[in-house]
Structure 1
């Protein structure tokens, strides 16, 4: 029987600071100065290999995103979801990109100060599998590219000549993933230098609070370290905690008794209390910083590590679902893959941050990492913005979906500790998910429908974190093997019962098994509204809508290169249905928005209807036509006016979850001019909000809007520039589709070009892209040199547009 109350207190977020040598540790960003070669080549690890013709690249880098599309054969286009189709057809899941390998090389000189030091290469991820060579010798690699690793290169460093790092990345076979993964060195690489005898290990800190209130919080600090100094029996450590304003709230020097029989061990560093803590929550995500300093016997600093953290409590119960800091909170979430539109899998923090800001603006407070660990920078940003995370390790428990080179039973004991230790200190992480859609698998180890593999993983996970519950997501259709009326055995074994799409099972399962706690781990866009309002919102944990941002891969058929059922298109333009969700997730904010029905799409996916109506929110229509449209609103009543003439008022049927916040209007005649939706709330005579769409003329010029006024000249920061085609009255022309060519003058480069059309055959790399619905976006990456940047957009239909920017 499951416990009725599961509690978890406090979590912390990891940073990757760059410390000076006097801190005992240096961390050098190793993202620059690489060269890339597509495909395999003989001798690439050798120091004597000539890579002069290879392409210079900076990390993060996804080598698949620039590859051409691989169109299916004519006889395969009819049914791209047929699992028996051949290899080219199976590429539909992986965005019609060819699978293969790529090589990276970097040449560098060793710093003489490294002599006598310990030198590591830290790879945050190599997609999908990778092998690392240093000066001709294989020194490490990964069989699961969603997690990182480090490798010690100390003994192989040449202090007199060039040093060569060579990396082979392989995307595997088409069947090794069910979506677009990208390929290559798609996350950061760092070079770390520490004391060889006395240092912290990888992901060494574990910090918890067994007691949290508004008046006081207890903080328990554990750290794993290595000590190879024989006579150093009591290790001195300085622990310092500062708040977000830089004020010190605790500073203590302690001694740790050293056990010589075990050079590497986890130590209890300290247990202390913080008075009147500033709690971390979604609205005020306050972060503290913990710094730990190790001292050598002579009093000098041997090592120092720093992490930010947030003080908060989480609780789960079948009675109330989820509480944050003692208050009921409903997870209003998104489940998406890790990729970033035009950038593919390349994990740019600025691109991740842009998505988080958009999601938060529309009312999201939760992200499920489907179905693999996201980047460390993603976790840091969720901590910063107050986004709650369900952290997921795998898709399905098979060799096929875990990388393909090793059996899954051999792989997970390696992956799980790296994953949990990396992410356990993030306040944003509130639940661990070990897998996705597992009850559909008939061949799980131990022949008990996944219960034993789950328990094995749970035992290991609890070695590293005991503060959060565990779950796995259940496939939407399959239930118990013997009777479809009962939950699968695995659903009964987990701490949280997570069902994809089948929220309608919650009431019946709760009556039979009153200890179950429910989370709708995937909800479909086509059921938006009912799949939210038909749940008992007072008792469930919440939900995560699947694929809210369109993405590459999982195409329903050529020419679509990916998933098209989101509420934002792949260029991050909101579709009209985004305001339907906003009206649900932000009930306190008056919302009204018009969505005109253009067509219906009857798409089935995993036995679930996911196809949605195609909507648009412009007023350029065929003269004489009659239209059906929605007004999405959380107001009580909406009036529709055409060119100032009222077409009537309609009530929001809030008592009916199937139609709530979605008022349908039929047989609306089109007339050139404007259409207005005016929303009212009972007791207020004035409109609470208005949405107006107007007939535009043909576009006469281009405009540009940049999103990053604090563009940093660090070689990593991005500037998203949205181009829009407008008429003489500054109205967007939805029919504008002219091609654009971009050029840059100054310290920046183009790293992505995108519009919202996933059926386009244009690539998102290069410097050209057509307008779609009158818009397109170009993404610029800064260099390490600050200065003015001029972006020019040229088109055969419009005068050149120049936008002047500055990186600082």
Structure 2
């Protein structure tokens, strides 16, 4: 094993180009893992500890744990319903709050001697500690951010070195939602020159006038010289060099480590970054010694674009008005839990983009670095958020928040500031409790402190905090709270109806609906002054684990897409609002309406379906979601009625047909602009189940150990139509160099494990997720369901 590991690491290092004297080696493979229960204490010594499994990162150790139902007393006591909803179980996904220990060994290479060696962690959820050969070398008290440990003088050469990582999910009230647990992002080794190197997140890249590129580089330099040479290459999206410069910078020996501003670089006819054309350049910065040898080289991507906020127009991108049409969700990824797979993040971004979204608000913490990279690539505008509430309990719990935020701000801003997708910094969420904080000024002092440090590292973007409710002043009920007045952009959760009044009192203010409820979808969009507001983000657009309304629901169920990423009918109302292309969609209104109170807002939504298998003689109500002028409803080819779209904000894009007499066959809606047919949609009565259908989201995938394949599983009739009332169980098996990492059916009340090999269908479908291994092969997925023939697909 030592020989294999040494050869593997040596091969990785030798693969790095010699020109860049910096080696980056992934440590995502071959971790051993041991789980501890909630009541067990972590050991002080790790000698002799037995590890029950070997895993690869990213890894969420909570997602495979069994669901924990409330006690019969909790479930049966109606008077305790509110307490049950807020309990640790419902808020944090009905999972035990466990602890975990990870172990991995490395054998340092001889080439690392006299080098600077770092262990870099993308994040440890929720809090974590790192040990090397029994010595504590680092920790995190806020798992949403990464950190590094300098092990230069701690490695022992010519023998295995043991890395131990402990992770704890902390107490019931250390989060208001499911966080997951463990090494849920990547780990790597970074090797650089010991004395002359770039520091952590060293580049700060901004653009001016849509053509000038400004670069600031943070590096350590120890030579006894008067000037230091730095080279800059700008590469376009194809990798072609469009600018190549070398600069001799004045060097002061006493600085040693310093941030250097490089002369501005002007690009000739650059391509701009925007949501429809997310064009990316790469800045490659090289540090030379006095002889002209390369000491270190780093690179980062950037976009040439301008952003602007103002009370008259809200937000402009490259000088053009842009309305944020967005989603606000937690960082977790459905059946995968918190494990930050790039492919799963990409799938969600593509889904949102296809429904007209152009914006994501990171709620309520920084996401993984891959998320921002993908938003850059797909043209998604990001409101980057650091915290939930400014309280110890929501920031990890081991260190008081007032002692923590200084380091968090620096890591967060320096990590994310080069992403063109990031347009606004949010320093916190739902800060209505701030009247009781130490300064007794509604958090204004805290906000000013955080904002000042943030602008020290990035002055190109404004800041905000999300308020809910945005609260009135203590002296009068006519004006917002001091914190709402102090922010550079006014972000209110749900309280968009305050925008007109507050803008009259404070005409310089800029308004953004940082959370909007699905239950008021439509009105909370069209009732805003769209020409002058920044836009909105719909809360929980994709269902997620945690923040449950009570057992058996395992999480949030009021989204527009279910937890297996299937669009609910309400998603097409969103599409009608967010997309300019003509569209129309039929939704059947089922009996009942959910009542779900959330922060003083009823977020409950009607139960909608696309099921046209009904009881003979029944009558149904239909919602037609459309952005066209009028529609005609037909049943089996016969016209029922024709109706026009309403301009009333509460009814716009939602045309209702009540008491439609059900008949088997086809219900169809035809949409018109003027007298021209521009869109159609229909539902059909299906026959009995004929077979299972497996639909992969891509035919080929990378054998890189982390790529995913999402396979949609459907039960269909003899005409290939999905049968929405079929909920039979399906069992899966996989052969080849891949393994199953998640199953989901979209039903937030389902008791099947996300980490199991079987799941019952919900509304005729489910999702199975496969993770690639590192050897190329053909992979076969087989699905077996009672009463149907087994079906399989082969994937390369």
TM-score by length of 1: 0.94
Q: Which moved more, 1:643-652 or 1:712-721?
A: 643-652
Residue matched to 1:49: 48
Trace 1:681-696 onto structure 2 (pairs within 5 A).
681-684=673-676, 687-696=677-686
Residue matched to 1:656: 648
Q: Does 1:680 align with 2:672?
A: yes
Residue matched to 1:464: 457
Shift of 1:73: 1.6
- Counterpart CA distance in 1 for 2:525 and 2:103 is 50
Which 5+ residue runs of structure 1 have no aligned equivalent?
1-16
Residues 397 and 708 (structure 1), Cα distance of their counterparts in 2 relative to 1, 3 Å cut? same
Residue matched to 2:616: 623
Q: Which one of 16, 23, 26 corresponds to residue 26 of structure 1?
A: 23
Q: Does 1:308 align with 2:335?
A: no
Mapped contact 2:582–2:678 kept (Cα < 8 A): no
Residue matched to 2:157: 159
Q: Does 1:220 align with 2:214?
A: yes
- Counterpart CA distance in 2 for 1:170 and 1:20 is 39
Residue matched to 2:475: 482
Q: Which moved more, 1:63-72 or 1:76-85?
A: 76-85
Which 5+ residue runs of structure 2 have no aligned equivalent?
1-13
1:206 partner SS: strand
Q: Does 1:704 align with 2:694?
A: yes
Shift of 1:256: 2.0
Q: Which one of 356, 359, 377 corresponds to residue 363 of structure 1?
A: 356
Residue matched to 2:5: none
Q: Which moved more, 1:673-682 or 1:556-565?
A: 673-682
Shift of 1:603: 1.3
Q: Does 1:749 align with 2:749?
A: no
- Counterpart CA distance in 1 for 2:77 and 2:517 is 22
Residue matched to 2:6: none
- Counterpart CA distance in 1 for 2:422 and 2:472 is 28
1:514 partner SS: coil
Deviations 1:309-339 (A, max 9, x none): 1000001110111000000000000011000
Q: Which moved more, 1:370-379 or 1:444-453?
A: 444-453
Q: Does 1:324 align with 2:317?
A: yes
Shift of 1:43: 8.6
Shift of 1:285: 0.3
Mapped contact 2:432–2:469 kept (Cα < 8 A): no
Shift of 1:768: 1.1
Q: Which one of 712, 715, 722 corresponds to residue 722 of structure 1?
A: 712
Trace 1:38-77 onto structure 2 (pairs within 5 A).
38-39=35-36, 48-51=47-50, 53-77=51-75
- Counterpart CA distance in 2 for 1:528 and 1:129 is 37
Shift of 1:589: 3.0
2:377 partner SS: helix
- Counterpart CA distance in 1 for 2:471 and 2:159 is 61
Residues 43 and 755 (structure 1), Cα distance of their counterparts in 2 relative to 1, 3 Å cut? closer
Trace 1:214-253 onto structure 2 (pairs within 5 A).
217-229=211-223, 231-253=224-246
Residues 477 and 458 (structure 1), Cα distance of their counterparts in 2 relative to 1, 3 Å cut? closer
Shift of 1:674: 1.5
**RMSD after superposition:** 1.8
- Counterpart CA distance in 2 for 1:232 and 1:45 is 48
Mapped contact 2:470–2:480 kept (Cα < 8 A): no
Q: Which one of 587, 591, 599 corresponds to residue 606 of structure 1?
A: 599
Residue matched to 1:528: 521
Residues 81 and 456 (structure 1), Cα distance of their counterparts in 2 relative to 1, 3 Å cut? farther
Residue matched to 2:264: 271
Q: Which moved more, 1:414-423 or 1:155-164?
A: 155-164
- Counterpart CA distance in 2 for 1:80 and 1:222 is 60
- Counterpart CA distance in 2 for 1:395 and 1:47 is 34
1:323 partner SS: strand
2:263 partner SS: strand
- Counterpart CA distance in 2 for 1:104 and 1:237 is 40
Residue matched to 1:409: 402
- Counterpart CA distance in 2 for 1:246 and 1:108 is 34
Mapped contact 2:692–2:716 kept (Cα < 8 A): yes
Residues 185 and 568 (structure 1), Cα distance of their counterparts in 2 relative to 1, 3 Å cut? same
- Counterpart CA distance in 2 for 1:723 and 1:442 is 51
- Counterpart CA distance in 1 for 2:18 and 2:127 is 33
Residues 803 and 45 (structure 1), Cα distance of their counterparts in 2 relative to 1, 3 Å cut? farther
Residues 754 and 371 (structure 1), Cα distance of their counterparts in 2 relative to 1, 3 Å cut? same
Residue matched to 1:8: none
- Counterpart CA distance in 1 for 2:553 and 2:604 is 14
Residues 784 and 340 (structure 1), Cα distance of their counterparts in 2 relative to 1, 3 Å cut? same
Residues 477 and 489 (structure 1), Cα distance of their counterparts in 2 relative to 1, 3 Å cut? closer
Trace 1:572-587 onto structure 2 (pairs within 5 A).
572-587=565-580
Mapped contact 2:569–2:610 kept (Cα < 8 A): yes
Shift of 1:79: 7.9
- Counterpart CA distance in 1 for 2:136 and 2:662 is 68
- Counterpart CA distance in 1 for 2:598 and 2:78 is 12
Q: Which one of 773, 778, 782 corresponds to residue 772 of structure 2?
A: 782
Residue matched to 1:795: 785
Q: Does 1:291 align with 2:284?
A: yes
1:787 partner SS: coil
Residue matched to 1:100: 98
Shift of 1:87: 11
Shift of 1:88: 9.4
Mapped contact 1:340–1:346 kept (Cα < 8 A): yes
Q: Does 1:559 align with 2:552?
A: yes
- Counterpart CA distance in 2 for 1:471 and 1:42 is 40
Q: Which one of 111, 114, 117 corresponds to residue 112 of structure 2?
A: 114
Residues 790 and 175 (structure 1), Cα distance of their counterparts in 2 relative to 1, 3 Å cut? same
Deviations 1:460-487 (A, max 9, x none): 0111000001000011363222323211
Mapped contact 1:18–1:27 kept (Cα < 8 A): no
1:797 partner SS: coil
- Counterpart CA distance in 2 for 1:670 and 1:412 is 60
Residues 111 and 602 (structure 1), Cα distance of their counterparts in 2 relative to 1, 3 Å cut? same
Q: Which one of 721, 730, 747 corresponds to residue 740 of structure 1?
A: 730
TM-score by length of 2: 0.96
2:792 partner SS: strand
- Counterpart CA distance in 2 for 1:145 and 1:84 is 29
Q: Does 1:516 align with 2:509?
A: yes
- Counterpart CA distance in 2 for 1:748 and 1:766 is 15
Q: Which one of 762, 779, 784 corresponds to residue 752 of structure 2?
A: 762
- Counterpart CA distance in 2 for 1:45 and 1:707 is 46
Shift of 1:439: 2.3
Q: Which moved more, 1:382-391 or 1:737-746?
A: 737-746
Deviations 1:656-713 (A, max 9, x none): 01101101111111111111111111132xx211111111122121011111234111
- Counterpart CA distance in 2 for 1:689 and 1:412 is 51
Shift of 1:595: 3.5
Matched pairs, number = 781
Mapped contact 1:393–1:419 kept (Cα < 8 A): yes
- Counterpart CA distance in 2 for 1:447 and 1:104 is 43
Mapped contact 1:72–1:88 kept (Cα < 8 A): no
- Counterpart CA distance in 2 for 1:665 and 1:711 is 45
- Counterpart CA distance in 1 for 2:431 and 2:551 is 28
Higher RCO (CA-CA < 8 Å; seq separation 6+)? 1
Shift of 1:45: 7.7
2:650 partner SS: coil
